[in-house]
Structure 1
Amino acid sequence: METYRGFKARARRKRNRILLIEAGLAVLIVALLFGILYTMVKMIHGEPVIEWPVASTIVQEEQQEQTPVQTQPVEAEEWDTNVPSERTINTDLQLTADARMLALPANGKLSTEYFRTALFIGDSLTQGFGLYQPTSDVAIVHAYKSISPKFILDGGTAKNYNGVEEVTKDAIAAEKPDNIYLLLGTNAVLAQEDDAFLHYYGELMDWLRETFPNVPIYVQSITPVTAEEEIAKPRLANDHLRQLNDQIAKMAVERGFYFVNVQEALVDDNGYLRADYVGTYDGIHMVPAGYAAWADYLLRHTAYSKYNSQFVEEGPYNG
């Protein structure tokens, strides 16, 4: 009897092993069929059968490092318009090639009294704000002939527009303005390579922020020249100046400054300095009519603040 029961137990165990093996084979067959079906679907849709996420990510990163950002060049005839461009700031400033897209838009108009506590910093072009109406009686001007950003940073001594000789850096730092307007470049572009000029211009911006931590700072575009001046001084070619203005606009906005595209107020239909604004000295400097148009443009392109709002003269003034 015991032998018979042992035989039955062994037979039962054998059947269980056979069933287990059959079940395993069935699972393998189903998985194989599923794999074949999956592969056929991928192939039909033209998709890779096996994806390697890590390798794919590495390739994408390498491609991004090796491929420079491509930007669409801005043609000269398209750059300056009579209508200010809307300010649209891309979160990645390196992708924004056109300075107009970073420029401060029109925002009502303030009275010239606004300039009474505004500080203008620059070279001989900025001297006109101290010499001509409507700003000569109100604006604070520290502007010196033939200077560069590096000259101010080095604490160079020069004569202001009124003939007073002063240490440029100290004279500027002593002021207590409510708004600051900065424009340099014409002389520096002639004397330096672009990289050097932009480097020191950026350092000057940083110094101004440290010196005037709570004051709004407006960085103006380099102004245009005449066609004749462009031929005489190729470094001042308007296409070249516009490329520099693209870089200056990004530098300004990155630092929390405002960029003002004053070229819009000063160019003719061909992108050159308007003939009725050109002075007799060269194709760079301007007559009083040019400064009047320039000042009017600045008064129409200011950032809203409670302080500025007291000077509103025309139109809506929006924050």
Structure 2
Amino acid sequence: MANNIKPYKVHSKRRRNQTLLVQAGLGVLIVALLFGISYSSVRIIHGQPVFPVRGAQQDGGPPSSESTPPAPESVSTPSGGGAQEVGGRPEAAAPVQAWNTEVPVERTLESDVTASDSRLLAVPANGRLSTEYFRTALFIGDSLSQGFALYAPTRDVATVCAYKSTSPNQVLQNFVGQRPDGSRIEMWDDIKVQSPSNIYVLYGTNALISQSDEAFLKYYSDLLDKLRERFAGVPIYVQSITPTTAEQGVKQPPLENGHIRLINNAIAKLAVSKGLYYLDAQEALADADGNLRGDYVGTYDGIHMNPTGYAAWADYILTHTVYSDYNKQFVTEGPYA
């Protein structure tokens, strides 16, 4: 009897050991499963792939040669300040390249453009064009742009769809606007029938007084999208809000020049992110303190300009255009002359 009990105890002990072993294995599997679920959840929350993808860049490591797309080919142009034609979208590391393409660059996310100073994104000096360039140019904006219909060298030459005391949201809703000659017309209906070769857009003075900065930029973005769609392939220059006098900034704080410069930074990013060109008119019109030059101030307020100011502004445009097959017929000075 005693001999039978001993094998039974040995067998029972083995079974207990096996059970403990199985339980331990299951415990390890459960822990591993929970860890895997937690790891996957974290990766998913952060928008990262759960499993490695062939050719993808590994976290913390240099990009592999398989995953790095080839850089876009560039075409060199004559030296001496000339432009380069660059394919693809503008890179944040070299935002100044966003201006110099023969056609608008591919639309990108606004977050791709990181420059904090609008001057870094502006079209640089690039030779000089004759005033005949303005014959197929279209100016879109408010009463500031109406001056191009009133003063030389653009008077009776350029097409001006500018309306007194207006903002982008009113154009989007096709409100009735007042033309430079005093006549009235639905604004978008007036704009959409034009056939320009180059477009210059300027809004902001009225909107900054009547709206929040955020609302103005949202409506401006929508209007630029609408212009891009209607005038596909036509170069669009988004101009900086022009400076005001120091006294005007005191009277109307939204038009204080420090604030205007901050808004211009946002406008520059907005323009380049959409593949449009940004034109820094402040460079031509502001004095050393960033205020509207005294010899350019008009008689009505510290916002609008006299004929001398518009002549300087038009001259700035003629020396800050993008090279293209169409524009080269007007070149009088520079590497393409």
Q: TM-score, normalised by structure 2?
A: 0.68
AA in 2 matched with 1:189: L
Which runs of 5 or more residues in structure 2 are unaligned?
1-38, 48-93, 99-107
Q: Which residue of 2 aligns with 1:88?
A: 96
AA in 2 matched with 1:135: T
* Contact 1:221-1:262 within 8 A present in 2 as well: yes
Q: Which residue of 2 aligns with 1:163?
A: 182
Quick one: distance in 2 between partners of 1:233 and 1:89? Answer: 36
Q: Which residue of 1 aligns with 2:163?
A: 144
CA deviations over 1:185-229 (Å, ceiling 9, x no partner): 000000000000000000000000111011110000000000100
Structure 1 position 87, deviation (Å): 6.0
Structure 1 position 89, deviation (Å): 4.9
Q: Which residue of 1 aligns with 2:326?
A: 307
Q: Which residue of 1 aligns with 2:251?
A: 232
Structure 1 position 94, deviation (Å): 4.2
Do structure 1's residue 298 and structure 2's residue 324 form an aligned pair?
A: no
Q: Which residue of 2 aligns with 1:4?
A: none
Quick one: distance in 2 between partners of 1:103 and 1:226? Answer: 23
Q: Which residue of 1 aligns with 2:199?
A: 180
Quick one: distance in 1 between partners of 2:95 and 2:269? Answer: 13
Do structure 1's residue 108 and structure 2's residue 127 form an aligned pair?
A: yes
Do structure 1's residue 131 and structure 2's residue 150 form an aligned pair?
A: yes
Q: Which residue of 1 aligns with 2:270?
A: 251
CA deviations over 1:170-192 (Å, ceiling 9, x no partner): 11000000000000000000000
The structure 2 residue matched to 1:220, chosen from 230, 233, 239, is 239
Which protein is richer in helix relative to its size? 1
Quick one: distance in 2 between partners of 1:223 and 1:117? Answer: 23
* Contact 1:230-1:237 within 8 A present in 2 as well: yes
Runs of 4+ more than 6 Å apart: none
Q: State the superposition RMSD in angstroms.
A: 2.0
* Contact 2:139-2:199 within 8 A present in 1 as well: yes
Quick one: distance in 2 between partners of 1:186 and 1:258? Answer: 20
Structure 1 position 315, deviation (Å): 1.8
**Change beyond 3 A, Cα 1:94–1:87:** closer
Structure showing greater radius of gyration is 1
**Change beyond 3 A, Cα 1:302–1:87:** farther
Number of residues paired by the alignment? 239
* Contact 2:95-2:113 within 8 A present in 1 as well: no
* Contact 1:87-1:100 within 8 A present in 2 as well: no
**Change beyond 3 A, Cα 1:311–1:233:** same
AA in 2 matched with 1:174: V
Do structure 1's residue 154 and structure 2's residue 162 form an aligned pair?
A: no
Structure 1 position 317, deviation (Å): 3.6
Quick one: distance in 1 between partners of 2:97 and 2:268? Answer: 11
AA in 2 matched with 1:255: K
Quick one: distance in 1 between partners of 2:288 and 2:269? Answer: 26
Structure 1 position 164, deviation (Å): 2.1
Structure 1 position 88, deviation (Å): 2.2
Which runs of 5 or more residues in structure 1 are unaligned?
1-53, 63-85
Structure 1 position 93, deviation (Å): 3.5
Quick one: distance in 2 between partners of 1:93 and 1:136? Answer: 39
AA in 1 matched with 2:263: L
AA in 1 matched with 2:205: T
Structure 1 position 165, deviation (Å): 1.3
Q: Which residues in structure 2 correspond to 1:41-52 (within 5 Å)?
A: none
Quick one: distance in 2 between partners of 1:87 and 1:260? Answer: 14
Structure 1 position 118, deviation (Å): 0.4
CA deviations over 1:255-294 (Å, ceiling 9, x no partner): 1110000100001111100000001100000000000000
